[in-house]
Structure 1
Amino acid sequence: MDLVQLRYFVRVAQLKSFTKASVALHIAQPALTRQVLLLEDELGVQLLFRHSRGVEPTEAGMRLLSGAESIFRLVREVRANVIASSTTVAGTLRIGFPPSLGGFVIGTVAAAFQKMYPQATFDLCEGLSNELRDRLLADRLDLAVLAGGANPLLVSTHLCDEELWVMMPRRLKGRHALRTYTLKELAGLPLIQPGRTQLARQHIETEAARLGVTLNVTVETDAFQVIKDLVRRGIGAHISPYSGIGADIKRGDFDGGPVKGLFLSRYLVRRIDRPISLGITKFQEILVDTLRDLGASDRAIRLPA
């Protein structure tokens, strides 16, 4: 009997379903079933009663569930105590971030962090919110910046609110004054946006629906550089967080500007069952300080009071 088998059994018993547990654990259902059967064989008792609607723990299963939950609470406490006792920032930090923040702030933060804590290393992962959330749940990231998406296995801390801007093809040469747009103005434009599963897209469409506006999305792609190239070629416009497109618009590569009243909330997210390390704490502090400095000179980024 090992911790992996116990963790699998606990998830199945809690969710009362092999199917739901396999999704939550990111493991194929046959492999999950096999591990639970091996546990039953080792203990010589039936732990789960199978029926058409799923499974129910037997009396022996309930006893094991209670004991296993106590074991995992103890493991978390020991891990937290060991990590908290460390005064040296070392090891590898696995950080996930959206493409818009990649070129805007993450490099600055990572460079400042490594200058202060040279014994630490980074594993940086760029991706959209749904992908990063899945990586967190699969324990392939320690921390990620997400645009929401509640999950009982994750804990979120509000990082900032960011203006959403629209990026459009450049029509006239020379410098132009930025202007503010409304969603109603953008309703008739062909738009190039990420897929419907992406949280930023969902947020924009929710706000549009609230205003009675139907957006005209003609191209869907999650590839950020492809989106910019298509806008540059005049295929359509794109609504995105300021951090990803603001500099391009201010530089004059595209027309565009902020969309009135439209903000995207960013959150620092980690697994609830993973105690926060000293390295992650220091990384968060540097990230917040860097965003605060940017927000002081640029109202498109707003940190909570």
Structure 2
Amino acid sequence: MLLMSGLVVFQMLGVPLMSDAIPLRVYVISDATGRTAESVITAALLQFPEIEPRITRFPNVRSAEQIMSILEKARKNKGVVIYSLVAPELREFLKMEGSKREVILFDLIGPILERVRKLFNVMPTSTPGLLEHVRAESLRAAEAIEFTMRHDDGLGLESIDRAHLIILGVSRVSKTPTSLYLACNQLLRVANVPVLLEQDLPQEVMRSDVPKVGLIIQLEQLIEIRRQRARYAQGYTDPRTVLEELEHCRRLFGRIPGMPVIDVTHLSIEECASRIMKLVAPGGLGRR
């Protein structure tokens, strides 16, 4: 069990503790990490500078035996118990045993669950740790987006092996928006690398075992997109040069055995991303 003193938090925040402050033992019980419950009680007690709290957090409490042990500590030290338990049977057990020992109890989540249940006539899942799962997903999303942005348009080749997917294609074939869409919606670390006329693909790409997908587009559509983007590099919208780029691109794609190639001419970003997932995901995309 992880033990943490809330006194440290108060000192860090500069809250003055009076010499004759009222000592208070607070035991936080949670079936997950307990960080949310601790934050709530800390925020509340900050409003009472006369109280000197000592908060102890007990995470991952899932059994009656654990609850009994904590309640005994609270009884001996005349402490209060703050608890966040989604399992109704554990909440009821804690209430009953706490009442026997005359321990002051505060149920943080039970009343909310009961009110929502009655209001909408639905049952809670009673699954512990769901908030931590959401936090973990948020961290994965942030990591995926940061990686994808750092590996845009051929950047970050030295760490390209950390990618879940490498997208290849000529300029203005929607590599970047597709990469970011996959990062945001599928939590994938995506690198995209441009195919340049008369140049081979970087050796880092060719040697990598990361799954790859090539994007291709029809000549007329690509020229129109480039003209709309108003980029004035020599030959950027010249039909003959653009055709050479596309032919060179197809030749390079042919050197990568088994790599799927998607024609994005009439596809939205969402549709392109969906096809990528269908083509590549069955091989375990995102498990690296």
Shorter-chain TM-score bucket reads under 0.3
Indicate the structure with greater strand content: 1
| Greater C-alpha Rg | 2
